Each structure stands twice: as C-alpha cells, then as structure tokens.
Structure 1
C-alpha cells in the first residue's frame, strides 16, 4: 500500500497560496505571490529535498498541475528531471488537457479514486500545493504524513492549508528543524484521535456553573 504525504509551504497564519512568484496564483486578489523567495537558502533547499524524498509519484490538483506543467517540462535541473519522469496523478475534469508526460487523470469521486490508488503497489504519493486536494483527503483521513514548512510571515488572506472540513486528528512530530532564516520545518505522522482533558476544578463554583449554563444555550 502506498503512503500519502505532503510537503507544504505555509505562512504563520496558514496561507499556502502562490509561494513561488507574483504571477503564480493571483486569484482572489492575492498580492503576495512569491513570499517564499526571500527565505530560500541552501539550508531550506536541503530540508525541502529531505521532505520530498527520493521515491515518489506526484498527486496534484488541477490548479497546481497547470502551474507545474507550464514550468517544469522546460527545466533541466534535478527537480525538473524528477518531476518530468515520475507519474502525475491529477484531480482534474476532462476539460483540463494532461499533456505533461506520465500524467493520469483521477476519475469520479476524488476520495474514492485516491483510496483505490493508495491501495495499489507503488511509490509514495507526494502532494505539492493542491490545497483543495489536501482538504478533501484530510476530511477523509487519507493523508499519512504532513511536512509543513512554516515561514515567519503573516499574509492575512489567501488559500489555507487547513479548512473547516479537516477531520479532527492527532499528529506526532517526528522531525523538526529550523533554518537560519527562521523557517520551521516539521514532519508529522498520524497519531489517532484527538485526546482532551480539563484543568477545571472538581467542584466548580456557583459562578462557573452559571457561566456553563449561559454558554450551553449558545452552543
């Protein structure tokens, strides 16, 4: 069975839109495209290579596929050669041409298509960008590993890594590093259901009981 993992650039407030450049994805009036560039150095490049790994196929949403397929086939570097050679599994309808070599369209319900793909033998499935794909797979508990590269900036608005549909789930930090520029890279594995507890007094005061009653009416 394949594992599904991500390697995602995010701001402190969770925005993942257009990290690569101003023209990458200006939809919704996003004005900060290219916010990763000032922080990218040799240290971050090494951590990104480690996060991506050596043995994977790509799992992409339509928008990220269109961005990548317009760029990577024209690059003759290590990442370009890798991306051009591996399989690309794409969540896109029939109106999106899949002209990039080794591209395969995922048909029907995305979660079911990915679940079936995950059950096959083969390389891990690495998600790059593709926020809507991540949202769907988190809602269906299909992602095994998250690598989140958090940049020390607040962008205020834009497409975010997590949305309200994400299934509650605990994650274990298995590796964490920080670059000299302040980028925090954390890799997390699924760790079961969310556990809770309470710091409340065993014998709450009358004021506290009254507060709970008031707030229960607003739940």
Structure 2
C-alpha cells in the first residue's frame, strides 16, 4: 500500500514571518480571501481527508468555521471549505487541551512523530497541516513532509513569529508549481526529494 502524502500549507511574509506581533494575522486577510486564492486552495484541501492542527489554530478555526458551515445562506468557496472542515478528521496536537469539542476532532494519542507515521501508513487520502507553524516545523525536523506549499504575501512585517528557525535541518526540495495571484502573492509548491540534502 502506498503511504499517504503529507502536505504542509503555510502563508509567509516576504521576510519569513507566519504571524505578526502578538499573533496578528490581519496582514494576510486580503490575500487569503481573494477568489483566485480560494479557488486555488480548494484544489489543495479537497484532496485531503485528515487535517493536523496545533492548539492555537484549532481554537481559532473552531471559533470561526463551524458558524460559517452552519449559515443557511452560505455559498461559495469559503462555505465549501467550512463544510469540509466540519466533516474532515481533525487531529490536534496539544499538551494542554484534554478534549476537542469540534465534530470529528480528537487530541493526538501519541507524540507527533509516532501519530503522523501511523496516519501516513493508514488507508486514506492526503493529510494536510493548515498553517500550524509549530506542527510543520516539527514535521520538517522529522522529515515527514512530502509536499510544502508556501504562499508568499507581498508584506514585510519586521517582527512576529518567524517560521523557519535554526532547528530545521537542511533538506532539498523540487519546485512542483508556481502561481501568481491578483493580489501580488505567490503560491509555490515544493516536493521533497528524499535522500538529497543541500
């Protein structure tokens, strides 16, 4: 049986931050809600049936997406994504949460590496990490990411949460696609080249 593909999806500023000071995400709203980006991203999440989230993203998503899914007048890509997020399996990695109230969500039973290796070996479609920086960094350190999707926004933040740190080991990736959006952001898809280091 072929191992499931693990996709890490993250939006970064030009200077490499995934969040601004105090966790501010306002700088990426214009880029993430644009029709062109939501259409592009639908092609990414629609192929996945498991989502990995850290505590902060789980709480943020849970506080927003269920109400979008429940809106009887909802339509469009955002509503489609909300419905998908409601139904998809969600695995939350947290040392402080004891339960996950969102339907089809659960707290990981094992450490991240063991849990993800088990998920990748199980039957299913793609596994995707949605912007949870700490989870993506840990998976990069364990060399468990097969595809890295970086959405580079034309913003310089100057400070905030820097995505890459010195703990991420060297690795080689092959560019597998590039899309320029109307807002000026660029979506880059990289595929891991196993057995090759930079």
* TM-score band, normalised by shorter chain: 0.7 to 0.9
Question: Would the alpha carbon gap of residues 132 and 55 (structure 1) be closer, same or farther in structure 2, given more than 3 Å must change?
Answer: closer
**2:158 pairs with 1:156:** yes
- Other-structure match for 2:58: 65
CA contact (8 A) 2:65 2:85 kept: yes
1:1-219 equivalence runs, <5 A:
1-17=3-19, 29-30=22-23, 32-39=24-31, 40-76=33-69, 77-93=79-95, 95-192=97-194, 193-195=196-198
Structure number with bigger Rg: 1
Q: Unpaired runs of 5+ in structure 2? A: 70-78
State the 1:108 CA deviation. 3.2
Shift of the alpha carbon at 1:38? 2.8
SS in 1 for 2:117: helix
The answer for unaligned runs of 5 or more in structure 1 is 19-27, 196-219
Q: What is the DSSP-based 3-state SS (H/G/I as helix, E as strand, rest coil) of the residue aligned with 1:81? A: helix
More strand per residue: 2
Partners of 2:9 and 2:148 within 8 A in 1: yes
CA-based RMSD of the aligned residues comes to: 1.8
- 2-structure distance, mates of 1:13, 1:152: 9
